[in-house]
């Protein structure tokens, strides 16, 4: 057996750790602002301006298909980002994804409609959405590893909740921006130009994100790996699937249990369903405000879940979260269907309690699943696959179920079923809270993941 090359332990100060958490949280919020903005506008605007000739029902389904389409390209972004995060570092990847997402979003804001350039409008829209998907697939893994690998061992859940909070923060920003523009440019003005302003505002946000991220230190775990080049595999993705494919699939199902339910709002479905003139016909501004409030609640409970997981363990926190989420998923559409704004807002807020407690600890849990040398690939690819299995086509499936059955009962069953799948996946995994993350512990990190003996 070849002796390991000694490496120095990279120390980070409290000030550096706080700067990393701030940078990953704010940067992730900006990335997901762009991503969720598209999803919200898809059911409010793009179904009419880009896909209108298809007719109301088909246009809405196709618009949501473009939301899901980007998820199919997340694995490409995850493969690329994971590979380069393991080979070049987490920080480099975060800069590339930030600019890619921002450029695609700004170009959507400048895109002419179908009435102006015909079929080229939806074609270009889909291309820009694909770029968003590639960027989103690469962003999350590097951001969470930068935060978790800087964290003290007993605060990984709390530190890792930073970039997790960035996701609902992105929803809050995007929903808030649309709600404000709905006031500034009401009615036809919103459809003509109001929806474009939040997309163009992405340029400002990207510049802010760049300024914040450029001063962040590289992950201490990656720095150690870089100093001992012989343990960094030339093909981390190949090693991941060769040795840990079961772990990737199980981890993906955990996230799918959260994402399927979460994408009822982040994917824009509730916004479209509640404001549909042929259905509930609720006020667009009121619904956007309710979603914005629920995003703030989701942020809060995501942060709480990350901190709680440092004491209860990742697994127990997930069990608690999925138990709450199953109630929220079952109650969501019955309460929305009342058409009462108080009930709708309450349903969305309660749902975010479960969503937060199945999301805040995810960064730490994923980081503790994979060996240091392939962690970037493992975290990024598992998240991307989970987003396809869960969030990708959840709004499309929901729209198709309502069209086919005429009721939302099947959608409720779908959301409850996805939650149960996530819970089962968690129950299969051992709790690995506090496991050493450094490159000197690869053997321990590579085994003992599953409750059943013999699982890798």
Query: Is there a domain that residue 42 lies in?
Result: yes
Query: Is there a domain that residue 450 lies in?
Result: no
Exposed/middle/buried for residue 229 (C-beta within 10 Å: 0-12, 13-18, 19+): exposed
With contact defined as beta carbons under 8 Å apart, do 278 and 59 qualify? Answer: no
Domain extent for 161 = 14-445
Query: Is there a domain that residue 2 lies in?
Result: no
| Domains identified in the chain, total number | 1
Residue-level pLDDT at 451: 87
CATH code, domain carrying 48: 1.20.1250.20
Q: Compute the average pLDDT of residues 189-203.
A: 92
10 has pLDDT over 70? no
245 has pLDDT over 80? yes
d(CA 97, CA 324): 34
Residue 80: which pLDDT band, with cuts at 50, 70 and 90? confident
Could you tell me the pTM of the whole model?
Answer: 0.82
With contact defined as beta carbons under 8 Å apart, do 158 and 310 qualify? Answer: yes
Query: Is there a domain that residue 401 lies in?
Result: yes
Judged by average pLDDT, the poorest of 91-105, 214-228, 247-261, 343-357 is 214-228
Q: Compute the average pLDDT of residues 103-111.
A: 92
d(CA 140, CA 133): 11
Query: Is there a domain that residue 3 lies in?
Result: no
Instruction: Tell me the percentage of the chain whose pLDDT exceeds 90.
Output: 39
Q: Each residue of 281-326: pLDDT tens digit? A: 899 889 988 988 998 899 999 999 999 999 999 999 999 999 999 9
Residue-level pLDDT at 453: 55
Query: Is there a domain that residue 54 lies in?
Result: yes
Q: Compute the average pLDDT of residues 229-252.
A: 82
With contact defined as beta carbons under 8 Å apart, do 99 and 388 qualify? Answer: no
233 has pLDDT over 70? no
Question: 10 Å Cβ neighbour count for 451?
Answer: 11
Q: Compute the average pLDDT of residues 67-88.
A: 77
Query: Is there a domain that residue 8 lies in?
Result: no
Q: Tokens for 256?
A: 């799918």
Helix boundaries (H) for 112-235: 114-117, 120-150, 156-184, 188-189, 196-200, 202-213, 220-227
| Stronger pLDDT, 232 or 395, i.e. the higher one | 395
87 has pLDDT over 80? no
Judged by average pLDDT, the poorest of 83-97, 267-281, 331-345, 398-412 is 83-97
Q: Each residue of 141-169: pLDDT tens digit? A: 778 888 888 888 889 999 999 888 888 88
5 has pLDDT over 50? no
Judged by average pLDDT, the poorest of 20-34, 100-114, 412-426 is 20-34
d(CA 230, CA 404): 56
Q: Which of 24-38, 118-132, 261-275 has the highest mean pLDDT?
A: 118-132
Query: Is there a domain that residue 92 lies in?
Result: yes
177 has pLDDT over 60? yes
Residue-level pLDDT at 248: 95
d(CA 236, CA 238): 5
Query: Which among 386, 299, 96 has a CA at the least distance from the CA of 214?
Result: 96
Residue-level pLDDT at 455: 46
Residue-level pLDDT at 1: 37
Judged by average pLDDT, the poorest of 86-95, 352-361, 379-388 is 86-95
């Amino acid at each position: 057996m070849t002796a390991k090359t000694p490496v120095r332990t990279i120390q980070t100060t409290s000030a550096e750790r706080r700067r990393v958490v701030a940078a990953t949280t704010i940067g992730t919020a900006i990335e997901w602002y762009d991503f969720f903005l598209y999803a919200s506008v898809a059911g409010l605007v793009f179904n009419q301006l880009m896909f209108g000739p298809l007719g109301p029902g088909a246009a809405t389904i196709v618009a949501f298909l473009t939301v899901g389409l980007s998820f199919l390209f997340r694995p490409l972004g995850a493969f690329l980002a994971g590979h380069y995060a393991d080979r070049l570092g987490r920080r480099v990847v975060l800069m590339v994804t930030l600019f890619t997402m921002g450029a695609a979003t700004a170009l959507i804001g400048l895109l002419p409609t179908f009435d102006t350039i015909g079929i080229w409008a939806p074609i270009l829209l889909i291309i820009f959405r694909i770029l968003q998907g590639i960027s989103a697939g690469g962003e999350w893994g590097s951001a969470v590893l930068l935060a978790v690998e800087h964290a003290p061992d007993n605060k990984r859940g709390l530190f890792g909740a930073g970039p997790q909070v960035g996701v609902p923060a992105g929803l809050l920003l995007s929903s808030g921006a649309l709600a404000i523009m709905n006031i500034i440019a009401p009615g036809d003005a919103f459809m003509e130009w109001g929806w474009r302003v939040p997309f163009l505002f992405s340029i400002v946000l990207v510049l802010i994100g760049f300024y914040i991220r450029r001063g962040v230190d590289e992950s201490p775990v990656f720095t150690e790996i870089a100093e001992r080049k012989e343990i960094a595999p030339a093909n981390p993705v190949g090693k991941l699937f060769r040795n840990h494919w079961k772990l990737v699939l199980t981890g993906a199902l955990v996230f799918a249990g959260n994402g399927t339910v979460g994408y009822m709002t982040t994917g824009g479905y509730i916004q479209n369903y509640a404001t549909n003139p042929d259905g509930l016909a609720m006020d667009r501004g009121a619904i956007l405000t309710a979603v914005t409030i629920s995003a703030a609640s989701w942020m809060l409970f995501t942060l709480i879940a990350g901190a709680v997981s440092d004491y209860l363990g990742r697994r127990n926190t997930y069990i608690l979260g999925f138990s709450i989420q199953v109630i929220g998923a079952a109650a969501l559409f019955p309460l929305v269907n009342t058409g009462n704004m108080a009930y709708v807002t309450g349903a969305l807020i309660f749902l975010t309690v479960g969503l937060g407690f199945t999301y805040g600890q995810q960064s730490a849990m994923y980081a503790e699943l994979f060996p240091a040398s392939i962690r970037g690939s493992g975290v990024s690819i598992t998240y991307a696959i989970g987003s396809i299995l869960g969030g990708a086509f959840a709004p499309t499936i929901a729209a198709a179920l309502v069209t086919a059955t005429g009721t939302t009962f099947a959608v409720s069953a779908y959301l409850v079923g996805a939650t149960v799948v996530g819970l089962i996946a968690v129950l299969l995994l051992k709790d690995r809270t506090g496991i050493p993350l450094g490159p000197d512990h690869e053997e321990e990190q590579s085994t003992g993941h599953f409750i059943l003996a013999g699982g890798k």
